[in-house]
Amino acid sequence: MRRTRRVPPISRAALRAGAAPPPDRCTRCAGRSPLRPRRSPRRAVRAALVPLLLVPLAACGGGAASGKADGGSPEGFPYTVDNCGVRTTFTAPPKRAVTMNQHVTEIMLALGLQDRMAGTAYLDDRIAPRYAKAYQKVRVLAGKYPSKETLLAAAPDFVYGGYASAFDRSEGRDRAALADSGIRTRLNLEGCTTNVDLGTLRREIREVGRVFGVPGRAEALIRKQDRRLAATARRLKGTPRTPVFVYDSGDSSAFTAGGEGIGNEILRRAGARNVFGDVDKAFADVSWEKVVQRKPEVVVVYDYGGTSVAQKKKRLLTDPALAGVPAVKHKRFAVLPLSSAVLGPRVPDAVESLARQLHPRAAGHGDG
């Protein structure tokens, strides 16, 4: 994987290699003052009120663990999970989670867990509009990755990272060091799993839902995603697959999507054939000569960071070596935000969007 990049901010390759991030940016805070019910001085009144109070509390649970399984642990706990080589037992849901990397932040928001978040950090692009209001309630610790000191100052009991670089050992944020500080951790499964597909996405959502005691919310989210994906599949039925090349970044070589990540699954479900789907990595550098040889008919540009889509298109269109590539010759481009091309809640959005761009007559406008 490439460890340097000519244009900031840090490329996906550098993120996965654990490159050092730039300095922290400003912080946005949102304080809360929980209300406590008054106690009645009269035993009879208290006895009458308790059952009435319990009804709305139970109704507002939203799938959260609200009961006790054995008088000591909340319902569904203790819960033990193996995640990317780390085995963790949770005796209760985390109350002060910090997320690092946008797609895991959006998983938390999609599950309605913003009230359990003590902080967040590192966006690739804009938060999805449907999560924007909830995101505004969460304190932003840093523009990129926070220092260990900043992270610990947020007093988290759980840290959820999107890429392995979130747990950079050289920065003191590795999972073992955080465990020594009493902080449990989770790494998004795309950071440690091969052959990533929709089953991997479902597992990610289910396990996060279990960790936070909201398995019902997780299952509801999975059902909604599956319905949207099935609708896109019906619209594309019988449509020939378009050969595509993913251009993430790169000058001397091309950083592209291989066959191991969710990006390849998104392409397949959108009616595309990844010309580098035989590469056994989620992301990889390939030579421009190979791009020419494989003759993609469309270039899918990942949109993020300091290099705009227009600049990426210009780089491809002005390279004489690429003039004969069908996608470049006919100026056929599709665009996906980077946050839609990783293992998070936007996968159905990415499939729908890309299907419309590649096959507008077949895909239509989607179900939303």
Q: How do residues 238-264 score in pLDDT, each as one tens digit? A: 999 999 999 999 999 999 999 999 999
pLDDT at position 47? 42
Cβ pair 274, 248 in contact under 8 A: no
| Together in a domain, 192 and 104 | yes
* Minimum mean pLDDT range among 43-57, 139-153, 216-230, 332-346: 43-57
- Edge-to-edge order in the sheet of strand 140-142: 140-142, 117-121, 97-100, 158-161, 184-187
Domain count, the chain: 2
pLDDT at 73 (0 to 100): 75
Q: Which residue has the higher pLDDT, 16 or 1?
A: 16
H and E: helices and strands count for the chain: 14, 13
Asked if residue 328 and residue 205 are part of one domain, the reply reads no
Say yes or no: 217 and 258 in one domain: no
Same-domain pairing of 138 and 205: yes
pLDDT digits (tens, 9 = 90+) for 70-116: 456 789 999 999 999 999 999 999 999 999 999 999 999 999 999 99
Of 178, 199, 224, the domain-final residue: 224
For residue 216, being part of any structural domain is answered with: yes
Q: Where does the pLDDT of residue 27 fall: very low under 50, low under 70, confident under 90, or very high at 90 and above?
A: very low
C-beta separation of 161 from 191 below 8 A: yes
Same domain, 277 and 196: no
pLDDT of residue 68: 56
Q: What is the mean pLDDT of the chain?
A: 85
State the Cα–Cα distance between residues 168 and 100, nearest whole angstrom: 12
Q: Is the pLDDT of residue 29 over 60?
A: no
Please compute the mean of the pLDDT values over residues 172-197 and round it to a whole number.
Answer: 96
Are both 99 and 183 inside the same structural domain? yes
Q: Are 279 and 212 found together in one domain?
A: no
Rounded to an integer, the average pLDDT of 160-182 is 97
pLDDT, tens only, 277-315: 999 999 999 999 999 999 999 999 999 989 999 999 999
5 part of a folded domain: no
Report yes or no on 62 lying in a domain.
no
Rounded percentage of the chain residues whose pLDDT exceeds 70: 79
Listed in sequence order, the DSSP H helices in 23-82 are 43-59
Token output for 307: 């290099």
Percent of the chain with pLDDT over 90: 77
6 belongs to a structural domain: no
Residue 52 lies in a domain: no
* Six token digits for residue 114: 């913003």
Among 201, 224, 247, the domain boundary falls at: 224
Q: Where does a domain end: 164, 189, 224? A: 224
* Domain membership of residue 200 as a residue range: 12-31+71-224
Are residue 209 and residue 273 in the same domain, yes or no? no
Is the predicted pLDDT of residue 50 greater than 80, yes or no? Answer: no
H-only helix segments in the chain: 12-17, 43-59, 102-110, 129-135, 148-153, 175-180, 198-211, 215-236, 262-269, 288-294, 309-317, 326-329, 347-358, 360-363
Same domain for 139 and 178? yes
From the list 80, 116, 81, the residue with the least C-alpha distance to 98 is: 116
Question: Does 44 reside within a domain?
Answer: no
Amino acid at 178: L
Specify the pLDDT at position 71: 55
Residues 220 and 245 both lie in one domain: no
Looking at the structure, do residues 208 and 262 belong to the same domain, yes or no?
A: no
CA distance 138 to 100: 12
**Rounded to 5 degrees, what angle do the CA atoms 358, 362, 367 make?**
95
Specify if 256 maps to a domain.
Answer: yes
CA distance 100 to 175: 13
For residue 244, give the CATH number of its domain: 3.40.50.1980
What is the pLDDT confidence band of residue 365, given thresholds at 50, 70 and 90?
Answer: low
Q: Is residue 21 part of a domain?
A: yes
Same domain, 205 and 121: yes
pLDDT of residue 362: 84
